[in-house]
Chains A and B, each alone.
Chain A
Amino acid sequence: MMEPLPEISALPFDVDRVRRDFAVLEREIHGHRLCYLDNAATSQRPKAVVDAIVQSLTWSNANIHRAIHTLGYEATVAYEEAHKKVARFINAKSWREIVFVRNATEALNLVAGSWGLANLRAGDEVVLTIMEHHSDIVPWQLLAARLGFVIKFIPVTADAVLDVDAAARLITPKTKLVGVVHASNVLGAINPVADLREMARKAGAKFLLDGAQSVPHMAVDVRALDCDFFAASGHKMCGPTGIGFLYAKKELLEAMPPFLSGGDMIATVTTEGSTWNELPWKFEAGTSAVAEGIGLGAAVDYLSTLGMNNLFSYEKELGAYVLEKLRALDYVTLYGHKRGESLAVFSFNVTGAHPHDGANLLDRLGIAVRSGHHCAQPLMNALGMDNTLRASFYFYNTKEEANRLIHALGELRKLFAR
């Protein structure tokens, strides 16, 4: 059994020092210093992560698990070690409960395609929330079309938080899985996962968390959360693209059939059939994204050194500052942030300005924000939102950058009001 790493960073969080780890933050865009506020889409990567990837690619590159030679050994050890780092980071019981995948989307497809296909049938129900990212809706819809089970959605209340009372009615003994986005990529809302897990447990259902937005910003303890599945993407947490992970309880992974199949995931193959490799390799078919996996390990090291609780406190204070400023603008319609705890993720509209135009103009001021439906159309429909601008902050953002955003929104308003 693995012990969680103690929070080693007793140093106060120093944003100026941290910013020096991200060269891109010095970049000028259209004559302005970059103000990167699209972190919910993807974060930037610190030098330590880039260095680890370069080291792997240029000095220790080999295929893992089969090579007897030195490079093969180094690559295998480093790649396995990355699984161990992630396991410690989220306090998994064993590193064998960590399956590396391309991203949270693939992790969720793995759960649907393996566990779902083996365990769901007509008459069953899967309960999701209306806040889910498309990646935790579409795989279940595709599977439901094949198997005939029913998908139900936990709605949001008028003040844009999950309707826990409705959840209590929707989750019944027919429910086989409850899937919940830990933190919303649109509203920033941190969902009441303990309440929902209890409902799932009482119904005898499995409990799945989409942690793509939560794990980059807050300390995650999968044992305390007591979830069955937890999906995340590396690139939103300072790691590279092309790598993410699925955590699942060992007994589930052991019972689940393989998802992708082929090389490396087998123990033996005969013309009559095959047996499966040990965990987690049973679910990692083919040559892995080795350098990316090692990069994810470095990202976890980086975040652990800063201390997730430090980051969370810093972002919370920054978020409160942004919220106060946004609320003071009468031409800004902000979604969510009315009740409960939230990440520093803000979806809003500026009266008279289409979000696409807004994002375009902000870019001209060096400010990177997202516009659109944020891959969460059911939530947008439920809240009567069409498209929005979204500013999402991370630990390397500052109050000065928040001020730049607020100033730019004023300019945007002036332009479209004239």
Chain B
Amino acid sequence: MTDDAFKNDLLDVDPLMMDVLLDHYKHPHNFGELEGANIVYEEGNPSCGDQLKIMAKTKDGVIEDIKFSGKGCIISQAAASILTDLIKGEKLERVRDLTKDEMLENIGIPIGPMRLKCALLALKVLKAGVYGQAAWPGEEEE
């Protein structure tokens, strides 16, 4: 078992993509508390202990600023960093339109079934905060 074999095997991820993800994990964008936020929502995934709080400031239906805080695995935390980048400056309707598939595409690595909730936690928390969706993204019809 060589190190190279391990790296190629690693999460089935291109090492370059892994570096991007690691960078989001270690230096998350939009991380911290947001003073004066009018949307604040927090939820965890009890099975793994991940915790995520999303805070947003909106004006005239536009997300002017957004931050998150929390703790968890590389996928859940990088996903929150990526999502907040994606949604900052967008209209609120964008949150409603954002699908599970688009979220996964933005994460950019293959997500196995056991890690799906890690990948979707941020989007779930955001949707719950913005318009009260209780279901996991992709499970709205179930």
Contacts and interface: CB of A to CB of B under 8 A. Distances in A.
Given A32-B1, A357-B73, A357-B75, A387 B9 contact: no
A364 B1 contact: no
Query: What is the predominant secondary structure among interface residues of chain B facing chain A?
Result: helix
A411 interface: yes
Contacts of A361: 10-11
Given A32-B1, A407-B1, A365 B9 contact: yes
Interface size class of A (residues with CB under 8 A): 20 to 34
A244 B97 CA distance: 49
B94 interface: no
A20 interface: no
Interface in A359-398: 360-361, 364-365, 371-373, 386-387
B11 A360 contact: yes
Given A356-B118, A416-B22, A418-B22, A31 B48 contact: no
A413 interface: no
B49 A364 contact: no
Given A356-B73, A407-B1, A364 B11 contact: yes
Contacts of B18: 415
A386 B114 CA distance: 20
Contact of B9 (A31, A407, A414): A31
Contacts of A365: 1, 6, 9
Interface in A399-418: 404, 407-408, 411, 414-416, 418
A371 B1 contact: no
A364 B9 contact: yes
A411 B3 contact: yes
Interface of A: 30-32, 354-357, 360-361, 364-365, 371-373, 386-387, 404, 407-408, 411, 414-416, 418
Given A356-B48, A364-B10, 18 more contacts: A31-B9, A354-B72, A354-B74, A355-B48, A356-B72, A356-B118, A357-B73, A360-B11, A361-B10, A364-B12, A365-B9, A371-B48, A386-B49, A387-B48, A414-B3, A415-B10, A415-B22, A418-B19
7 residue pairs, one from A and one from B, having the closest CB atoms: A356-B73, A354-B73, A387-B49, A357-B73, A364-B9, A357-B74, A411-B6
13 contacts: A30-B9, A354-B72, A354-B73, A356-B50, A356-B73, A357-B74, A364-B11, A372-B47, A387-B48, A404-B1, A408-B6, A415-B10, A418-B22
Interface of B: 1, 3, 6, 9-12, 18-19, 22, 47-50, 71-75, 112, 114-115, 118
